[in-house]
Amino acid sequence: MAASWTETPDLIVTSPYLRTQQTAAATIERFPNVPVEVWPIQEFTYLQPSRWNGTLSSERMPHIERYWAAADPEFYDGDGAESFTTMLRRVRASRAKQIEQEVAAGLGRFRDKFAAWREGSPKKEFVPSRSPEQAQSPARDPSRRQDQEHDGRSAFRNRFEQWKDEKAAAEKQQLERELERERALQQKQKELQRSRVEALAIRRQRHGRQ
């Protein structure tokens, strides 16, 4: 994986889990000057690990099915586990940090390129061949180029801020859609569970009559 990078990354991120840090070790070694951060991006653990470590999947399956059938986003199984709501908060926080990092990296690249352009740009303004009529016109104000450069930087800065706001708004809409889908799924699971309970009650009632 480390050898597959064609460009230097802006940031290397791992989860708190040791295995992810071990996986990233080769990339970190290849890019020693790239900052490394630990983000809460580990997988979702909804069953208490200490109660289920060393068990078979067949032993855990009834509890897994019961968890998802209950569709309770606030359910907390114990130490080492987290509720669905807590997991969503963690995902949103990580996504917000990712957006912030992308914006900062984009602005940094722009500054580097602009500085390189300024260093390599000619010091004198290029003036094409002038007609006799143009030769009689007043000379250009030397400060005009600086004003144009300032206007160009301001326009780019405004466009960049607009892009940042649009990106943040799009991300917010995406999160809202995901939350809406989660709510719909939870509602569907609750209705399914209610139907199962009602069907079981009917069967018990019929069995009692027999």
Which two three-digit tokens encode residue 45? 């653990």
Tell me the residue range of the domain where 14 lies: 1-42
pLDDT tens, 184-210? 777 777 777 777 777 777 777 777 665
What is the pTM (predicted TM-score) of this model? 0.49
Residue 10 lies in a domain: yes
Residue 123 lies in a domain: no
Contact indicator for 97, 171 with CB cutoff of 8 Å: no
pLDDT at 135: 47
Residue 31 lies in a domain: yes
Residue 124 lies in a domain: no
Residue 3 lies in a domain: yes
pLDDT at 31: 92
| Percentage above 70 pLDDT, the chain | 69
Contact indicator for 84, 160 with CB cutoff of 8 Å: no
Q: Is the pLDDT of residue 173 over 80?
A: no
Q: Is the pLDDT of residue 55 over 80?
A: yes
- Cα–chain-centroid distance for residue 97? 7
Residue 183 lies in a domain: no
Arithmetic mean of pLDDT, 76-86: 92
Residue 5 lies in a domain: yes
Residue 24 lies in a domain: yes
When divided into structural domains, the chain yields a total of 1
pLDDT tens, 131-164? 455 445 555 555 555 555 555 566 656 666 676 6
Q: Is the pLDDT of residue 75 over 80?
A: yes
Cα three-residue angle 143-146-150, rounded to 5 degrees: 140
Among 23, 42, 151, 159, residue whose Cα is nearest residue 94: 42
Q: Is the pLDDT of residue 126 over 50?
A: no
